[in-house]
Homo-oligomer: A and B are copies of this chain.
Amino acid sequence: MTTFERSDRNRVRRVPERGIYDSSSIYQIVDDALVCHVGFVVDGRPFVIPTLHARVDDEILLHGATTSRLIRHVQAGHEVCITFTHVDGIVLARSVFHHSINYRSAVLFGRGRLVEGDEATMEALRTFTERLLPGRWDDARSPNVKELKATSVVAVTIDTASAKVRNGPPGDEEEDYDLPYWAGVLPLRMAVSEPVADGRLPESVPVPGYIREYVKERE
C-alpha cells in the first residue's frame, strides 16, 4: 500500500477530515466505478470526458479508437486528472445548510503512454471486458487483427491521488435537533434490471449463469 504525499494538487481542503490518501482505499473507489471522468487541457482550456477504465496495479488503463482525441492526447504524455465518483445517498438535515450527499470520490493525477504490441493490447482488452462483466471474455468473439489495429489502449501512471468520502447521517446544529422536520438519508445505488435480449438473439440461447449472478447481486 502506498500513501500519497499531500501537495497542493491532491490535498483535500474543504472538510479535511474527509480526505483519504492511502492507495488501497483510493483504488477501491476506482475499482467500484464503472466510468470515470478524464480531465485534460488543450490550448489552456479544460475538457472533461467520461469513459470506461480498468486499473492494473498503479496504472489506469483507458481505451478508444486510435483516432480518439482523448486517447491521442493521453498517448502524447500530457497530464490528466481522472476522477471517480459514487453517489451513495441524499442527506436530509433539519437545516437547509446541512443538506448534503453521501459520496465516495477519488481524484488521480498522472501521465499516460501508449500500450504497445498486439499481445499487451489484447491483454488490456481482456481486462476491460472482464471488468465490465466478469466471465464475459470467454463468452464472446475475441478481437481480430483489424479490430485490434483500430483500438488504442493507454496506461496512465498515477503520480498522486486523494479521495474524499462522506457517509452516515446528517450533522445538524445542536439547537436544531428539536425541530419537527424529518431527517435522515435516502440511500442511492446503481441497480441492474433484468437482461434485455437483443432482438436477433435466437430463443435457444439462454442467459448465461455469470450474467444471472451479476444481475442477482445488483437488483
- Chain A residues proximal to chain B, CB less than 8 Å: 9, 13-14, 34-35, 37-41, 44-50, 52, 64-65, 67-69, 79-83, 85, 87, 90, 92-97, 99, 101, 103, 105, 107, 109, 125, 129, 132-133, 136-137, 139-144, 147, 150-151, 169-170, 176-177, 179-201, 205-208, 211, 214-215
Contact = CB atoms under 8 A, between A and B. Distances in A.
A90 B211 CA distance: 11
A82 B190 contact: no
B169 A183 contact: no
Task: Give how many copies assemble into the complex.
Answer: 2
A141 B95 contact: yes
B40 A46 contact: yes
Nearest to A33: B87
15 contacts: A37-B48, A41-B45, A45-B79, A48-B107, A49-B107, A96-B140, A96-B142, A97-B151, A99-B136, A139-B181, A140-B181, A184-B197, A185-B198, A186-B195, A187-B196
A177 B189 contact: no
A48 B41 CA distance: 11
A35 B96 contact: no
A189 B187 contact: no
Contact of A96 (B87, B93, B129, B185): B129
Contact of A147 (B48, B97, B205): B97
A211 to B, nearest CB: 7
